[in-house]
Amino acid sequence: MDTPSDRFHQQPSQMCPFELYRNLPDSNPTSHRFSPGSLASHPLFGPHMHLSNASQRWGNFRQRQGLFPGLLVDDDVGEEDVFAKREFSVGATPSPQCCPGDRGQDSAREPEDWNQNFARVKRLRINSALRNEEEVGRKGKKGRKNGASVKIDERKGAEQGNRRESREGRKRQRQELKLQLEETRGKLLELQRKVWRVYGGQRIEKKGGEEEQEDEALNLDEVADMFSNDDEALISAGFSPQRCSSKKNNESNQNGNPGIIPEETSMDLDLELNGDQVWLGCSLVRGEWESTEGGQKFAQALKQELASVVAQVIDRVVRLYAETDPSSVTPATVSMETGVAIDLNSERRQRSDTVACVVEQVEALPLITKSPQDKRAPIAQSGQKDLLLPQSNPSLAPLPQPPLSALFPPRSKDHFLPSYSPDNSVPLPLLHYTMQNLFARSLSSLPLNKDCLSEPFMDFRSHNSVFPPLPLLGQLDPSLLDRARDGGMRGGGATVDGADAALYLAAGSSQEGLSPCHLKKAKLMFFYSRYPSSSTLKTFFPDVKFNRCVTSQLIKWFSNFREFFYIQMERFARQAAREGLASARERAVRLGRDSELYRILNMHYNKSNDYQVPERFVEVSEIALREFYSAIQSGRDADPCWKKAIYKIISKLDSPVPDSFRLPGCPTDTYRMG
DNA sequence: GTGCTCCCTG
DNA sequence: CAGGGAGCAC
């Protein structure tokens, strides 16, 4: 099984989706992936410095850029480097190599945003210098661009003098700016010392914890105060991270001033550059994890990854089991036994149903075929809401089930979480199930919205507004199981149409749409009525909000029931007709409760066998069998329409459906109840 | 045109 | 069990 981290490694494109993180130096490759893309994650713009202070201060800094002309001269090469790095970082394809990366190299790219601003400042200053140049030499009026033509024109000797003045002026200006630069650099280094004393030093000492977070907050605020209180310090601090990490040596060498950074500062910086201790200095990720918000995000990411992995395992096991014993595990049995693989085929159906019932789906929930998903949808949505918005109001009504996209965890909205790769082999429904049920149900305190549930459906649910944490029958209140059984449901066993099925179905049951329980009820109704009208169906499914799709679905169910019924009748009638002896034929056309035909019918319409088959149904079935038999014996089956007469006969044998079927949920077996 | 049913197919 | 086509009745 892939570890979550391994899975992250498989998606390099999602690892560092933002340049900020791609450029972040960190020896921990996984840590980047949990870093939200915000300036607040930067060590100097920590989570405690939000827009209210950090961005304002940064804005102040940008407004005051012009106060530091010294930074902008005599550093053309550096500026080019900045832009080169910028282009590199923008154009670079995020990769695991670039994320964990070499500390020394990555640290040079770390604060690209700082470099950008630095470059912008320099660019402005260069433009300003050019303008000054033009002003000084405005008699030439054409500036540097027309310098050649000025040289050619010897008649304008006075202009040459002006050019000399201009050159001298530029020279003076450069010298002044150079001095300012040196001065600013000195202040920069001084500020670096402060920063690393206050910030880096304490981080090295700490080992994590809330107290340290508070300290960190204070320290970061101190740093922020430095930014806002001292303009030059602000500039210096603004560039300090990159310079500390990558340019300090160069600057020291260039300035011939290696002693500006004291030994302790150098040690701190070295520590920061040092392998496993990198996080101590940058602490972007781990610091976030230690914070409350970061911890929640980490937990969410962990949940997502665990869910996907569990989904994969379940899928593999199911497939492996199906492969090893295909005879015993047909798709139907798999779906019935696992209750998970039900969704394997439902995606396709949902697509078509979505198209067919696009209008109705705005209001009506999907039909029975989608019910395994859809019944879980409300709880799933709750789970998703819970994952994304832990404090969201659980009483909010569930959103209508979107066609297919809603099955995806909304990772796209949460860039913090890694998205699944497109080639993810986890079947979506499986993923959906495991994702939502494993974690949504693990949220034991998750309150269910009663509006999400089929109000009268499975009355045991109405006594439990809070969904059980896990649908383990052994953990359920016995009374609930009894209620489930009383409702025509069978508890335990390997099939899903037991109390466990009702349990998870009840969790997402809706007044709109049909559930497996409705299917079971319809089958039991077939014992009494083979040709129920749509109005009759509406009478006996009061917990269903009928629309065209639902009505057609129910009618289709009964059509399928009849089809199966008649197929079996014809099959056994032909079998009886083949019997040689009259006594055998007589036995064959009799439908005793010990007969094979009875067993098949009971298995089909009363699979859980928790409902007593009405005697009337046995009689009608025997009549149908005899009609088929006689038609076959008399050769009427040669007529293409020979079945119609039988259908007409059977259609007149419907008996009234018991009033117990008028109640919502599965009918109680009054016969067995006495 | 709509609703219902049967038949066929997957 | 669902989807779709065809036929029939209203």
pLDDT, tens digit, 9 for 90 and up, residues A246-280: 333 333 333 433 333 333 333 333 333 333 333 33
* Burial category of A497 from C-beta neighbours within 10 Å (exposed 0-12, middle 13-18, buried 19 and up): buried
- Per-residue pLDDT reduced to its tens digit, A146-185: 444 434 444 445 555 566 666 777 777 778 877 777 777 7
Residue A565, pLDDT > 90, answer yes
In this prediction the pTM is 0.34
pLDDT at residue A306 in the model: 59
- Work out the average pLDDT over A22-32: 35
Which range has the worst mean pLDDT, A50-54, A232-236, A559-563, A628-632? Answer: A50-54
Contacts of A426 (CB under 8 A, 6+ apart): A308, A311, A312, A315, A420
How many of the other CB atoms lie within 10 Å of CB of A453? 25
Q: pLDDT band at residue A576, thresholds of 50, 70 and 90?
A: confident
- Determine contact, residues A308/A7, Cβ cutoff 8 Å: yes
Could you tell me the distance in Å between the CA of residue A10 and the C1' of nucleotide B1?
57
Task: Note the strand C nucleotides within 7 A of protein beta carbons.
Answer: 1-4
The mean pLDDT value of chain A amounts to 51
* Burial category of A406 from C-beta neighbours within 10 Å (exposed 0-12, middle 13-18, buried 19 and up): middle
How many of the other CB atoms lie within 10 Å of CB of A593? 10
Residue A600, pLDDT > 70, answer yes
- Work out the average pLDDT over A569-598: 82
- Taking the C-alpha atoms of residue A532 and residue A646, their distance in angstroms, rounded to an integer, is 17
Residue A559, pLDDT > 60, answer yes
Distance from CA of residue A26 to its chain's centroid? 26
Could you tell me the distance in Å between the CA of residue A484 and the C1' of nucleotide B9?
37
pLDDT at residue A131 in the model: 53
Q: Which nucleotide is nearest to A356 (CA to C1')?
A: C3
Q: Locate the domains of chain A by residue range.
A: 516-656
Q: Which nucleotide is nearest to A607 (CA to C1')?
A: C1
- Work out the average pLDDT over A625-641: 88
The amino acid at residue A285 is V
**Is the Cβ atom of A553 within 7 Å of strand C at any atom?**
yes
- Per-residue pLDDT reduced to its tens digit, A422-436: 333 333 333 333 233
Could you tell me the distance in Å between the CA of residue A334 and the C1' of nucleotide C8?
40
pLDDT at residue A303 in the model: 61
Tokens of residue A520, six digits: 């079971």
Q: Which residue shows structure tokens 């040690």?
A: A267
Q: Which residue shows structure tokens 């009928």?
A: A546
pLDDT at residue A160 in the model: 58
pLDDT at residue A474 in the model: 28
- Work out the average pLDDT over A360-374: 36
Closest residue by Cα to residue A437 from A380, A495, A382, A398 = A380
- Per-residue pLDDT reduced to its tens digit, A546-556: 888 889 999 99
pLDDT at residue A22 in the model: 33
Residue A588, pLDDT > 50, answer yes
- Taking the C-alpha atoms of residue A284 and residue A16, their distance in angstroms, rounded to an integer, is 14
- Per-residue pLDDT reduced to its tens digit, A35-77: 333 333 333 333 333 333 333 333 333 333 333 333 333 333 3
Domain spanning A516-656 has what CATH number? Answer: 1.10.10.500
**Is the Cβ atom of A175 within 7 Å of strand C at any atom?**
no
